[in-house]
């Protein structure tokens, strides 16, 4: 094979390794933070949701389930 083509293959190979390492590191960081205990004195809570429909506003069943779980969490 041509030497320049081999260099391109090596470059692509190293790029793939770097991208894979990046995703692995990001996953490890996410899992480490997910295992931490939540602060007892938190002032806010973010609930990632779904669609809110109608007037008056009614949460989508997916969002309603998340809101119900958040309410249980707040009461504990």
Query: Which sequence spans correspond to the domains of the chain?
Result: 1-36, 41-76
pLDDT tier at 52, thresholds 50, 70, 90: confident
Distance CA 16, CA 20 (A): 6
pLDDT tier at 12, thresholds 50, 70, 90: very high
Lowest mean pLDDT among 29-33, 38-42, 53-57, 68-72: 38-42
Distance CA 71, CA 19 (A): 39
* Residue % of the chain over a pLDDT of 90: 43
Record the pTM. 0.54
What is the pLDDT at residue 18? 99
What is the pLDDT at residue 69? 92
């Amino acid at each position: 094979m041509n030497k320049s083509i081999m260099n391109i293959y090596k470059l692509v190979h190293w790029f793939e390794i770097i991208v894979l390492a990046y995703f692995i590191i990001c996953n490890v960081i996410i899992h480490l933070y997910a295992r931490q205990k939540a602060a007892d004195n938190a002032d806010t809570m973010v609930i990632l949701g779904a669609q809110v429909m109608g007037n008056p506003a009614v949460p989508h069943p997916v969002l309603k389930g998340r809101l119900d779980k958040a309410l249980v969490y707040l009461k504990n």
